[in-house]
Amino acid sequence: MSREQRGPNEKLGAVLALAGISNAGLARRVNDLGAQRGLTLRYDKTSVARWVSKGMVPQGAAPHLIAAAIGQKLGRPVPLHEIGLADADPAPEVGLAFPRDVRAAVKSATELYRLDLAGRRAGGGGIWQSLAGSFAVSAYATPASRWLITPADSSVAREARSFEGTEESAPQKVGHSDVQKLREAAEDARRWDSKYGGGDWRSSMVPECLRVEAAPLLLGSYSDDVGRSLFGAAAELTRLAGWMAFDTGQQEAAQRYYIQALRLARAAADVPLGGYVLASMSLQATYRGFGDEGVDLAQAAVERNRGLATARTMSFFRLVEARAHARAGDAQAAGAALRAAEGWLERARDGDSDPSWLGFYSYDRFAADAAECYRDLKAPRQVRRFTEQALSRPTEEFVRSHGLRLVVSAVAELESGNLDAACEQGTRALEVAGRISSARTTEYVKDLLHRLEPYGDEPRVVELRERARPLLMAPA
């Protein structure tokens, strides 16, 4: 459905010309972005002509998909006002700001938290649906540079009085016991996510905890000491919300949570935690195909943490850097980063004061990511070697990771010419995938099936494809 403006939309026409996108090309891009979010759109070149020449305004998520499609071509975010669609149903720029001021940072984070569990404000429209496809890796540039320049705020104490623009007339006094509850919630959520996947992140405990528990605490009153701890706990939870959104394919939501998590880590004066958020941003950028930007984000984490983070933490940051180099196709840089990651890991000791959020990282995880590096670099022999190490000690604690490793193993077997072994590993991966809720795992399975298409008539491949059908048909 569309409604009509007054006269042609000259802004949209001008930006399309600037981006070099034809009417048919824009329609195709918008339909594709919609399909990624479960929307069936049937726009064509005539639809786009009406938007431009008659000023018709498409309804629902379409204006934001149009902006996202053009933004992908231009390589930067495109606001609705630039394409003459600012009076479409608004999708707020919630969560994208990285304020310099601490009080503004609290407002930015709590504004994001207070979206309800369906992704709506009271009486409002569907936020995440309207933001579909709006991920822009360039949105990470300002947060990363500001964090590098100033990784800690001078003071975060808040006085016990009301604050303009909030709903709190009598802010609660926050103590360490309040912060401890948030940390316990983060630890529970980490275990749940590793075992069952991100699932429907909107109905998970993390966004609810941020909205109901973390937001009032951040808007409360606290000393500088308590405040640092509070910001650190909130940053961990916010990063987790982003990770779960990332795992379920909600890239635009993940990006906003990551940006706010980085800002909160700066307020906590926790440089390793800020590095961990940057590493998460890097993994998302790499997964989305932006290898060079992934390298920049990972290297920011590495450089700022020299002399601060533990050996195990530095190993993880270098491993994430290797993933990005591999996606960018730089085998030499990826190899150097992997060697550095392994070297740091060998220096790690059980008595080191590693942060609790790094509890997942061991040699198994190093080997798993090394295998993915070599998969991207098309080196199946190395993939097989590291995958065997990664699968040597399967655990019920990290079920999703085990499933991903099995898919990577299947790919390595296939590229080595071992179709039977590839199908066997693929079958094992499907068994794991059926126990968790993870869009990333489903995408890995789809990639494996795509690679198996040349062998589509083989009975083993037909059987595997049939086994995968329930997973691929399950609602996102």
Which carries the bigger pLDDT value, residue 381 or residue 343? Answer: 343
- The residue ranges of every structural domain in the chain are 2-83, 362-476
State yes or no: pLDDT of 359 exceeds 50: yes
pLDDT category at 203 given cuts 50, 70, 90 is: very low
* Beta-bridge partners for 3: 57
pLDDT at 42 (0 to 100) = 87
Give dist(CA 378, CA 308) in Å, integer: 35
Residue % of the chain over a pLDDT of 90: 51
Cβ-count burial 246-264 (b if 16+ within 10 Å, e if not): bbbbbbbbbbbbbbbbbbb
Tell me the CA end-to-end span of the chain in Å, nearest whole number.
Answer: 25
CB of 201 closer than 8 Å to CB of 250 = yes
Structure confidence by residue, pLDDT tens digits, 1-47: 455 556 889 899 999 999 999 999 999 998 888 776 556 788 999 99
Q: Longest C-alpha distance within the chain, in Å?
A: 71
pLDDT tens, position by position, 224-274: 999 999 999 999 999 999 998 888 888 888 999 999 999 999 999 999 999
Q: Which residue has the higher pLDDT, 439 or 254?
A: 254
Which among 74, 102, 107 has a CA at the least distance from the CA of 92? Answer: 107
For residue 395, what pLDDT band results from cuts at 50, 70 and 90?
Answer: low
Rounded to 10°, the helix 23-36/62-74 angle is 110
Helices (H), 248-379: 251-267, 271-287, 291-305, 311-327, 331-347, 363-376
pLDDT score recorded for residue 434: 76
Predicted confidence band at 85 (pLDDT cuts at 50, 70, 90)? Answer: confident
Residue-wise pLDDT for 305-358, tens only, equals: 999 999 999 999 999 999 999 999 999 999 999 999 999 999 999 889 999 999
In this prediction, residue 1 carries a pLDDT of 46
Instruction: Give dist(CA 187, CA 252) in Å, integer.
Output: 24
Question: How far is it, in rounded angstroms, from Cα 384 to Cα 372?
Answer: 10
pLDDT at 474: 64
CA-CA distances (angstroms) from residue 339 to 3, 293, 354, 360?
58, 21, 21, 20
pLDDT at 88: 56
As a CATH number, domain 2-83 is 1.10.260
pLDDT band at 396 (very low <50, low <70, confident <90, very high): low
> In 10 A of CB 464, how many CB atoms?
23
Distance CA 280, CA 317 (A): 10
DSSP symbol at 249: T
Q: If you write DSSP's letter for every residue of 345-388 in order, what string do you get?
A: HHH--TTS---GGGTT-SHHHHHHHHHHHHHHTT-HHHHHHHHH
Structurally, what CATH architecture does the domain formed by 362-476 represent?
Answer: Alpha Horseshoe (1.25)
Question: What tokens were used for 443?
Answer: 């995408």
State yes or no: pLDDT of 469 exceeds 90.
no
CB atoms within 10 A of CB 11: 16
Nearest alpha carbon to residue 445 among 460, 459, 431:
431
Mean predicted confidence (pLDDT) in 146-169? 75
pLDDT for position 397: 64
pTM of the model: 0.77
Q: Among residues 281, 106, 131, which one has the least CA distance to residue 210?
A: 106
Give the per-residue pLDDT at 443. Answer: 87
| pLDDT of the residue at 124 | 38
Ranking 62-71, 117-126, 148-157, 409-418 by mean pLDDT, the lowest is 117-126
pLDDT tens digits along 92-150: 578 889 999 999 999 999 989 987 433 443 333 445 555 555 678 889 999 999 999 99
Mean pLDDT of the chain: 85
